[in-house]
Structure 1
Amino acid sequence: MYENLENVGIAHFDVKSQLPRWVYESAMRAAEKGEQARSAIKDKSMLKQRQMEIREGLERCIGGMPSSDTPLNPRVTGTVEGNGFRVEKVIFEPRPHVYATANLYVPDGLTEPRGAVLLLCGHREQAKHCDEYQTVCHYLVHTGLVVMSLDPIGQGERFGFYDPESKQAPMTSVTEHENVGRQCMPLGDSLARYMLHDAVRAIDYLCTRPEVDPIRIGVTGHSGGGTQTSLVMMYDHRIAAAAPGGFIMNRPYFLLTGKAQDAEQKWPGFSALGFDHEDIVMAMAPRPVRILATTYDSVPIEGPRHTVAVNRRFWEMYGRGEDLDVFEDENVHRFTIPLAHAAAQFFSKHLLGRTDEYSNEEIKLIPAEQLRCTQSGQVIGELENAKSTHVENRERLAKFERSREALPEDERKKRSIEWLRMRVLSDRQHCDLNPRPSGGGEVANMWVIRKIWWSQTGLLNHCLQFFDSKLAGNKLPVTIAVWDGGSSQLEAHAKWIEETCASGRLAMVLNPTGIGPLLPHLNSPTDKPFKRFGMMDRYTDEMMWLGDSMAAIRTYDVLRAVELAAGSSNIDPSDIRLYGSGRYAIYAGLAALLDERVQNVCMENRMNSISDWIKEPFYDETDSLSFIFPGMLRYFDLPDVDRWLAEQGKLYDSSPVSSDFVS
């Protein structure tokens, strides 16, 4: 019965292009802010100030760094002889009971400390002992460098969800990263926090090794390893030289690719501070940097070329312009042999002081099973009380819960609502609503009016207003409904619409940003826009870089819908109610908390709490970024919202529609 209404578009406006355009324009404004700040740097003192701001800004964006004063408790569990070197199998604890596994390549015949390189692996399940990263290690060690290859979280021997009994892991690598990474964000953290800390503690370990000169440590990695390398470049001043691969670009170029970001590449607020990939590189000046790039990469080659070009003048301030360059290989996205060769030459020059030709030692890879640091191949289940990132998130959650509970209730409520108001309202481009009808019709003895209005400059919202045809011309009380899918899911909510109208109320089904007819254009009919790394994840990623979130924008949309209702000639402004269903019910609850014009709110089939979601090891990732307010759990959770709404007399039980609600 509602099928025709579910599929109706909006005339006169290209609403399907508005969200991509709005996100891109917002990103470009942030990029311009960064360009102006970098252009204003005229001398070394200004450069050093910017470098300090980059480090502090990064740390703030990823949630702060864990302590680095806990014992590493390193141990070597075995040694494998290679072709002119040995490989030590190392386990250490970057954080208590968090076990990192690494291979340390040590050249034969060392008589004094020398330069070393930390290799950070990209998204290969085997990580340090896969052929690609083993090969890079061999090229580096054959130059005479000490090399430490580290397993990232969820890879190599660090599968966080490994089951020792079945010897299976239901998720690894990117899938595990995204699973735990999304759960980091309501805590005000990024998965980058843990990956960066692992790398910093690996450098701590290298500094303890007698074979290593602590002032000659470099770092390299490709793809996800390039991301980790970039984090280390900004944060750790001990790095003497860096060769990031398959990551350095800048946001404007990246947006043209239409790709989403991996969990460790989400640094909420980084763009809002005016930082971009140019600043990643700038943070190293004047220390040597070679960007490793492939010309057929999904990371557009224009990005690293541009970033090197705009940064060169900072190295030239020190008379070291030649210490920044980009090496390109005509290839696809991987740490290719030419890139490995280029990295080896670069580090040999800057960490060993050698400019002679590269060693032609034969590369003989070692069987992966011989490089394992554990007997079972996984730290979980073998090492006592081994923690996964999921467990670390739960411990972090417990810490914030204790902090919240320690505050007096009134202070906690005040701080929380102030924080929420700032997240939802701050920096919005407020504009006139300029509402107008966009068609109408009749269904099941109800009149239907479609309306559009401006929620923000450049972002239209849309609703369908249903009311009993016998009440046409009356000023009606209204219930604004927000649910997953908006007006594309009318049939699923037909009973609620009909009962609400039968009670004499106007049912206003809201399509907030990106929902229903406002969903952006699909690349193909088979696209799944709400899947992990799908179209809507891409836009939400960028919003988070800009210090915003889809949840905040849509909560603002609900507030603007309340404003629309309060000023409509056919609506009684003294009786405005909200109804939420599903994951999107969070928008209704938070809007009710912020707007005194809302008389009450009912929420059905929604999450009990964000904390409970974080405690779940497995969940449906589909559209899960849409309900995340980064940092929310440092202030409040959904049960707090329920309690505060109840105190205001606004909360109705989260139960099926009742006469109490619709009367």
Structure 2
Amino acid sequence: MNDFSSHWTRRDLMNLAGTAAIGGLGVSRLGMAQDAGTLPPLNRFPRMVQEYYVAKVRGWEARLLEKKNALSTKAEAEAYVKDVRERIAKAFAPMPKVKTPLNAKVTGTLDRDTYTVEKVIFESRPKFFVTANLYLPKDRKGKVPGVVGTCGHSDNGKIAEAYQSFAQGLARMGTACLIYDPIGQGERSQYLDEDRKLIYKGTTHQHNMAGNQMELVGEFLGSWRAWDGIRALDYLLSRPEIDPRHVGVTGNSGGGTMTTWLLGVESRWTMGAPACFVTTWRRNLENELPQDNEQCPPRSMALGLDHDDYLAAMAPKPIIILAKEQDYFDARGAEETHARLKRLYGLLGAEDRVQLHIGPTTHGYSQENREAMYRFFNSVTHASDAQVEPTITVEKDPDLWCTEKGEVIPDLGSKSVFDFTKAKAERLKSAREAKPLSEAALKEAVKASLRMPERDPNSPPNARILRARGDRKYPKKAWINYAVDTEPRIQAVCTMLGEESLYSRPPQAPEGKPGRVLLWVGDRS
């Protein structure tokens, strides 16, 4: 494959396949359009791809619900939960097969009125450092419940006010909380220059940069982040203060994402509280909600997994879904997910163990949702009978740093995600060079990767003739648009340039003589 074709997108190849399949075109003089930068795009079908996938996902969801609603016995529900766990494992593969030493250390402690905060560093993978704060209640009488806290998209990670608040609130009520920095947040910035300044600013930018690179080598950022959470649980359970009968996980927004995934991939949790994330794939797509790389598990839909399925993997253990009425994560989807889980839990004889709380305000782990989480966890653990959040003392960022200056890469020499991605890319390259594919095999591999449908060269697709517009400044005096039906409900728009005006099908080649078409696949219409 040459350099030009290696940069084709699936849409480009659809354009190529569809246009070439018209067949019999005989155009003697065609030219290239002027530079795309000087010509505004002409979008003939602005909603096409969106509505194509909305229809597809609605059909997918309907088929999924039909299967779920067919469950009618406890045995069928138990079998469904087992099957869901197996499918989730496939969606999050590959995960590490071996747990390497955590090499955990405490770098400092804050002593407060009713709790302490330990500054913890551990390695979720060799030389891949995770920074965390362990909030421990004082005056403990025996072991205490423990919760792993996951963070949303806060630049300062675990130190964001809302996340300090829920971790501290739990500790003040008698439950330990280990809250850790996600990849690309807090003390774990992944892209720093020599002056310790961010190359890619913003948490979503870091996540998507890392995640998109990882996809090219068959990895999923969400799996890496879930593994950090699993190792955080390993550390929490290694502490003698923690009661292993009561270990939960909670987080908001991006932390709600990770809470949901962690409940699906790890069986040791005894309770969970995802906040401001749980809805349905359909609602997200219909609402055109942007998502980070780690929020879209590969093959999730192909494996028949909606948001409720990741929580169903916990059944019949206690779960509360925390949503917000004014959140962009659609509360209607949270209600639908809750209804599906309630039915499943009902078949398991545990309908009261799955709850839904919808706070009245906007996106965030605000006090009303934190208090709903406290009450729910306390109803399970009996650590406290408090109904409202105690007074919270918000610490300054440097006081909660685990490293000297707040960054694991320059301060500790931590590996970055890119280091791991680069190493795997080099291994894959060596493997390819050791057993190179033939040209034919490479073409088939590309075709399979792009999931290109088979086409019959003797049965060209339909081409719509679109009304021309007069505001285009092409280098030829005449042009016309054709919309080629490349697959049901999808059209590729092609522009034909020439010397004579045309409002009909393309000129036909003389019988028995092949026509010649020069095809230019551009990135703008």
Q: Give the 3 Å change call, closer, same or farther, for CA 204–457 of structure 1 in structure 2.
A: same
* Cα gap change, 1:132 to 1:211, in 2 (>3 Å): same
Determine if contact 1:291/1:327 at 8 Å carries over to the other structure: yes
Q: 5 Å matches for 1:258-297?
A: 258-297=288-327
SS of the residue 2:521 aligns to: strand
Query: Is the partner of 1:15 in helix, strand or coil?
Result: coil
Whether 1:86 and 2:116 are equivalent positions in the alignment is yes
Q: Does the alignment pair 1:478 with 2:517?
A: yes
SS class of match (1:382) = helix
Contact 1:100 1:158 in 2 (8 A): yes
Give the CA deviation at 1:353: 2.9
Q: 1:462 aligns with which of 493, 504, 516?
A: 493
Check the 8 A contact 2:482/2:493 in 1, yes or no: yes
Change (3 A) 1:58 1:399: farther
Match of 1:375 among 404, 416, 423: 404
Sequence identity percentage: 28
| Cα distance change of structure 1 residues 103 and 2 upon mapping to structure 2, 3 Å threshold | closer
Structure 2 length normalisation: TM-score? 0.84
Whether the aligned pair in 2 keeps the contact of 1:450 and 1:465 (CA below 8 Å) is: yes
Report the aligned-residue RMSD. Answer: 2.9
Looking at structure 1, the residues matched to 254 and 79 of structure 2 have their Cα atoms a distance apart, in angstroms, of 28
Code of the residue aligned with 1:87 in structure 2: it is V
How far apart are residue 25 of structure 1 and its match?
0.6
Q: Distance in 2 between matches of 1:437 and 1:185?
A: 39
Equivalent residues of 2:211, 2:221 under 8 A apart: yes
Shift of 1:306: 1.2
- The superposition leaves residues 541-593 of structure 1 with CA deviations (integer Å, 9 ceiling, x where unpaired) of xxxxxxxxxxxxxxxxxxxxxxxxxxxxxxxxxxxxxxxxxxxxxxxxxxxxx
Once the 2 structures are TM-superposed, how far is the Cα of residue 390 of structure 1 from its aligned partner? 1.6
Q: Residue 185 of structure 2 aligns to which amino acid in structure 1?
A: Q
Structure 2 unaligned blocks of 5 or more? 1-32
Q: Which amino acid aligns with 2:127?
A: H
C-alpha distance in 2 between matches for 1:38 and 1:463 = 43
Residue aligning to 1:451: 482
Larger RCO, structure (CA 8 Å, separation 6 or more): 2
Unaligned runs of 5+ in 1: 486-515, 517-663
Shift in CA distance, 317/357, structure 1 to aligned 2, threshold 3 Å = same
**Match for residue 421 of structure 1?**
447
Please list, as runs of the form range in 1=range in 2, the aligned pairs for 1:165-564 lying within 5 A after superposition: 165-170=194-199, 171-350=201-380, 352-354=381-383, 356-358=385-387, 361-384=390-413, 386-407=414-435, 409-410=437-438, 416-425=442-451, 433-439=461-467, 447-467=478-498, 476-485=515-524, 516=525
How far did 1:247 drift? 0.3
Deviation at residue 39 of structure 1 after TM alignment: 1.9
- 8 Å contact kept, 2:131–2:188: yes
Post-superposition shift, 1:250? 0.3
Instruction: Tell me: CA distance 1:339–1:443, structure 2 relative to 1, closer, same or farther (3 Å).
Output: closer
Query: Structure 1 residues 443 and 27 mapped into 2: Cα distance closer, same or farther (>3 Å)?
Result: closer
Cα distance, 1:360 vs. partner?
Answer: 6.4
Q: Which residue of 2 aligns with 1:577?
A: none
Kindly provide the CA deviation profile for residues 581-633 of structure 1, in whole angstroms up to 9, marking residues without a partner as x: xxxxxxxxxxxxxxxxxxxxxxxxxxxxxxxxxxxxxxxxxxxxxxxxxxxxx
Once residues 117 and 90 of structure 1 are traced to their aligned partners in structure 2, the CA distance between those partners, rounded to angstroms, is 15
Aligned residue among 54, 57, 68 for 1:38: 68
Could you say if the C-alpha distance between residues 432 and 354 of structure 1 is closer, same or farther in structure 2, counting changes exceeding 3 Å?
farther
1:118, 1:220 within 8 Å by CA — same for their partners in 2?
Answer: yes
Q: Provide the C-alpha distance between the structure 2 equivalents of 1:192 and 1:148, rounded to a whole number of angstroms.
A: 20
Give the direction of change, closer, same or farther, for the CA distance of 1:407–1:86 in structure 2 (3 Å limit). same
Q: Is the 8 A contact 1:123 1:223 kept in 2?
A: yes
How many pairs does the alignment contain? 478
1:472 to 1:112, Cα distance in 2 relative to 1, 3 A: closer
Structure 1 stretch displaced more, 470-479 or 45-54: 470-479
- Give the letter for the 2:328 counterpart: S
Letter in 2 for 1:144: G
Counterpart in the other structure of 2:54: 24
1:543 aligns with: none
- Structure 1 129/447 Cα, relative in aligned 2: closer, same or farther at 3 Å? closer
The answer on whether the counterparts of 1:114 and 1:145 sit within 8 Å (CA) in structure 2 is yes
Secondary structure, in 3 states, of the residue corresponding to 1:396?
A: helix
Cα distance in structure 1, aligned partners of 2:475 and 2:443: 41
One-letter amino acid matched to 1:42 = S
TM-score for both structures, normalised by structure 1? 0.67
Deviation (angstroms), 1:425: 3.9
